[in-house]
Structure 1
Amino acid sequence: MERDRPLPSVVERMWGREPVTRRGPRPRLDLATITSAAIEIADAEGLSGVSMASVASRVGVAATALYRYIGSKDDLLTVMADGVAPPPPEPEGRSWRDYLALWTRAQRDLLLEHAWLLSIDPLVPPLGPRRLLWFDRALAALDGTGLDHGEKIHVASTLTGYALTDAALLNGVGGGPPQMEDAVIGGAADYGEVLAELLDPAAYPALSAAMRSGVMRGAKGWVEDEDFVFGLDLLLDGIEALIRRRAAEERSSCDEEDVLE
């Protein structure tokens, strides 16, 4: 399929498709080395520590040398978001549900391990080979379920969004910046107390009643994983219901065809 516009040069490099030239001196760097250096800085200092200058210093070249490989800070973030991803989990005979549960948890854990990923625009669709391999494995896990390609993509996107949201919550409550914890929130229980104080029962009757009941004092799942599992099971139950519905529709269609014959 022909595209009207060429791929961005950084995407071409991520896929190893840039043209090879035999002229001039052999390059001292490669994209993998630059990406690894940038990730090391982000893990140690956060995204605020990542710049063309800091990465160049880490790999021992002038900042201008990086522009042969990375056109901008945005390009650098693109390759970092892809380069930090490990290989996706292997199916190993798991059912679609067990695999997607493992797949979603692994994404959430990756985001928690490299919290700077949460600051990169989540609306940018993946273009790199590593993140797209994760996407591929999720779709493959749904083979044989009766879902069409569009539904499989929606399932994978929804689970990715859940992993992102849960990681952001965990990073912000009980695991976020110290100044926020010290000022307002130190965990789920504190969050519930803050809301109980802020919410007007007349304007927020349901949420106010929930917070005033003390429910958040028992919400250890924010740290111990119970809330994550509960939400994930809700999503997987919905996917399972969709699969059953599609199977019923297929049976009904086959019955109608048999009657017509």
Structure 2
Amino acid sequence: MWGRETESRHGPRPSLDLARIVDAAIGIADSEGLAGVRMSSVAARVGMATMSLYRYVGSKDELLTVMADAATPEPPALDGRPWRDYLADWTQANRNFLVDRPWLLSLAHRTPPTGPRTLRWLDRALAALAGTELDLGQRINIASTLTGYAATQASLTHSMITVAAATTSAAGDGSITGLADYGDILGQVLDPEDYPELTAAVRSHAFGTAEKWIDDADFTFGLDLLLDGIQALIARRG
């Protein structure tokens, strides 16, 4: 994963490299989800015997670890921006790539960041806060909190899509494509006496009116709460 393997001078020259194998595995995950990623399916995609893969990765778990890092894009450039502007961009970019590749959410809990790209995200967040009075431990905790928020928001997006699909199947009313449709469906099933506040929220479009599931206004509201807390912590330290 770090490109620091010691190459053996003995035996036949490898016909593949790790990057090609990982690209094949990522392609399967993108189209079929993690359930489709098996050593046999990856081997078939690169045109080799399953056992031959073990010359490059020791196990499927190792392959998943390398996949998680390789599928992570580079973090936004810091470019001397104020810490708040940068971390807002950093957190949104984190959320966005998890929305694009939901299978990464399943891998996030398997291991802490260990690859060059995932650790670069952590490094850039720490660098953004370097000019504050916060110590390194606090900065790491801030990065972890913002990472968790990004993952939660991405997971919520996919969960709402799944729930909406189940509701649609039961109601037979067609596809629910976003928050606006979701609110309409809730308005049809909620009993105002049993759910008085939720019914009022639906009727006032408190869930939002976005045609798609990602509502940046809702995301920014929660992110601002976190950034306000960081700003207050910096002020106390100062």
Normalized against structure 1, the TM-score is what?
0.79
Q: 1:217-228 maps to which residues of 2 (within 5 A)?
A: 217-220=205-208, 222-228=213-219
CA gap 1:65/1:239 in 2 versus in 1, 3 angstroms = same
> What does residue 4 of structure 1 align with?
none
Q: Distance in 2 between matches of 1:123 and 1:244?
A: 35
Structure 1 residues 87-96 or 156-165, which shifts more?
Answer: 87-96
Q: Distance in 2 between matches of 1:19 and 1:121?
A: 28
CA gap 1:190/1:123 in 2 versus in 1, 3 angstroms = farther
Normalized against structure 2, the TM-score is what?
0.86
Report the CA distance between 1:72 and its aligned residue: 1.9
Q: For the pair shown, which has the larger CA radius of gyration, 1 or 2?
A: 1
Q: Distance in 2 between matches of 1:161 and 1:91?
A: 21
Letter in 2 for 1:217: H
Other structure's SS at 1:162 match: helix
1:150 aligns with one of 137, 152, 157 = 137
Letter in 2 for 1:118: L
Asked if structure 2 preserves the Cα contact closer than 8 Å seen for 1:145 and 1:243, the reply is yes
Structure 2 gap ranges (5+): none
Asked if structure 2 preserves the Cα contact closer than 8 Å seen for 1:107 and 1:163, the reply is yes
Report the CA distance between 1:178 and its aligned residue: 3.5
Structure 1 residues 27-36 or 15-24, which shifts more?
Answer: 15-24
Q: 1:243-258 maps to which residues of 2 (within 5 A)?
A: 243-247=234-238
Q: Distance in 1 between matches of 2:9 and 2:24?
A: 27
Q: Distance in 2 between matches of 1:176 and 1:86?
A: 29
Q: 1:180-232 CA distances to partner (integer Å, 9 max, x unpaired)?
A: 653489444167559955x996xxxxxx4431213473322653311101000
> What does residue 258 of structure 1 align with?
none
**Structure number with higher relative contact order (C-alpha < 8 Å, ≥ 6 residues apart):** 2
Q: Distance in 1 between matches of 2:81 and 2:103?
A: 31
Asked if structure 1 preserves the Cα contact closer than 8 Å seen for 2:75 and 2:120, the reply is yes
Asked if structure 1 preserves the Cα contact closer than 8 Å seen for 2:201 and 2:207, the reply is no
> What does residue 222 of structure 2 align with?
231
Q: Distance in 2 between matches of 1:236 and 1:192?
A: 32
Other structure's SS at 1:223 match: coil
Other structure's SS at 2:227 match: helix
Q: Distance in 2 between matches of 1:67 and 1:241?
A: 51
Q: Distance in 1 between matches of 2:188 and 2:222?
A: 23
Structure 1 gap ranges (5+): 1-13, 202-207, 248-261
Q: Distance in 1 between matches of 2:80 and 2:11?
A: 50
Q: CA RMSD in A?
A: 2.5
CA gap 1:119/1:200 in 2 versus in 1, 3 angstroms = farther
